[in-house]
Amino acid sequence: MEAERARVLKMLLDGVEIPDFREPSISTPHVFELTDHWKGSHEIALLSDNSYPGLPRKDIVDSSAATDETQTNWNGALGYLRLRVEDPVFVEAVRVYPSGNELTVKVSICANRPWSGRLTVSSEALDV
């Protein structure tokens, strides 16, 4: 499950806290892995805390993502809430780092089982 924007967000599934799939950020979606829990009917609760617990309040309080005028202060969560289904092995992220005439591409693959295969990265932008 993904929640697009929130400061500190906890997810409860039938009253049991589900940990974040990856380290959360105030500027990226919160992601919770439900695969092992998702059979039958469930109650989902999202608990939002805008008081900066565990965050460096003095470092972010004046940023556009965390001022008292920011929408996450008013609503707790902002943007989409969605359930996402992935294959057992999937590309989680592609990051591109240009440096002069060189380009470094880092691909993160998420797998719930051992995987062996070939990954090809191509783009018209790379044709020189």
Q: Partners of 96 in the beta sheet?
A: 105
Q: For the purposes of burial, counting CB atoms within 10 Å of the CB of 9, is it exposed (0-12), middle (13-18) or buried (19 or more)?
A: buried
- Alpha-carbon span 68 to 62, nearest angstrom: 9
Parallel/antiparallel/unpaired status of strands 16-18 and 77-82: unpaired
- Alpha-carbon span 95 to 37, nearest angstrom: 30
Global confidence as pTM: 0.67
Residue 104, pLDDT above cutoff 70 = yes
Average pLDDT of the residues of the chain: 81
Section 80-98 average pLDDT: 86
For the stretch 34-76, pLDDT in tens is 888 878 899 999 988 777 667 766 766 666 666 666 655 656 7
Residue 102, pLDDT above cutoff 80 = yes
Q: What is the pLDDT of residue 109?
A: 87
Section 99-117 average pLDDT: 86
Structure tokens at 65: 């993502």
- Alpha-carbon span 98 to 25, nearest angstrom: 24
- Contact 97/103 with Cβ under 8 angstroms? yes
